Amino acid sequence: MEAYTILPLTPPDLDTMTHLVWLSKQSLTVNRLLYQNWPNEAAQRAQCRKAVENSMQCKDVQSWKVVHKESGEMVGHVAMKFYGDAGQKDVGGGGEVPDGMHPGVYEMVVDSMTDLWEDWGGVRHLREYGSFLGLLELRAYIHVELTHIFILREHRAHGLGKELVRLCVEAAKDRGLALTVGSEPQVHGFFGKMEFKDFKHSEWDLERWADEFCGFGKFRVWGMAVE
């Protein structure tokens, strides 16, 4: 950690942040089916930029970047979003299919993620999860979600990911809230070591959308939380 510093994300970081988000998605199996004409870099980058712009403009999102002190390079980031008690969590669906995406796969992802988060979406669930969340009364926010975290491969194994998660956990605890995350397979073990607990999962049959015998199978996303 001595070679790095963690700072709040700022508007001039848009291009670098977009690139890191795009880079983080290249090893995600489901994206090879979600985007038509893979890798369809133009469509992917446009979607990533839109997501980053929306995040930067949202008052409920808090983000940090990791900067390598010697080079000044941004080598990682984390983003978290505070969700309130005024209805369902927005998982990005309900509108037109984004350019370059497969309609069927897009619908599957949106429907599954909506189901995954339904228990965290409304006021009626506060009583059921009250002891787990540590909530004794209604608050301005119900929970916080760690929406994205990524460290460049060559800068891993320095404790950067753990430090970013710790920042998010502390920010949630300061408000007396649970920190949740939608965990993809490659980081499920990492979040488990950070004391996140599974509360639900969604499983997608990618073979349904792929060519026969090409190696696609089950893909799982876990809803996880830490108090």
pLDDT computed for residue 116 by the predictor = 82
pLDDT computed for residue 1 by the predictor = 78
pTM over 0.75, yes/no: yes
Q: Which of the four CATH numbers 1.10.10.10, 3.30.1330.10, 3.40.50.2300, 3.40.630.30 does domain 4-226 have? A: 3.40.630.30
- Each domain of the chain, given as residue ranges in start order, spans 4-226
pLDDT computed for residue 32 by the predictor = 96
3-state secondary structure of 209: helix
Tell me the mean pLDDT per 10 residues along the chain, length 227: 95 98 94 96 96 95 97 98 62 73 94 78 36 38 87 97 97 90 95 94 94 94 91
Token output for 217: 């199978």
Burial of residue 148, with CB atoms counted within 10 A of its CB: 0-12 exposed, 13-18 middle, 19 or more buried: buried
Token output for 71: 């080079």
Contact yes or no for 113/57 (Cβ under 8 A): no
pLDDT computed for residue 19 by the predictor = 98
pLDDT computed for residue 126 by the predictor = 35
Kindly report each contact of residues 26-34 with a partner whose C-beta sits within 8 Å and lies 24 or more positions away, as own/partner. Answer: 27/186, 28/184, 29/206, 29/216, 29/219, 30/105, 30/109, 30/204, 30/206, 30/219, 33/102, 33/105, 33/206, 33/209, 33/210, 33/216, 34/101, 34/102, 34/105, 34/106, 34/109
pLDDT computed for residue 113 by the predictor = 85
Q: How many CB atoms lie within 10 A of CB 204?
A: 20
**Whose structure tokens read 């000044």?**
72
Token output for 137: 């009364």
Q: How far apart are CA 141 and CA 128, in angstroms?
A: 16
pLDDT computed for residue 138 by the predictor = 36
pLDDT computed for residue 119 by the predictor = 59
Distance of CA 204 to the CA centre of its chain: 17
Q: How far apart are CA 100 and CA 116, in angstroms?
A: 25
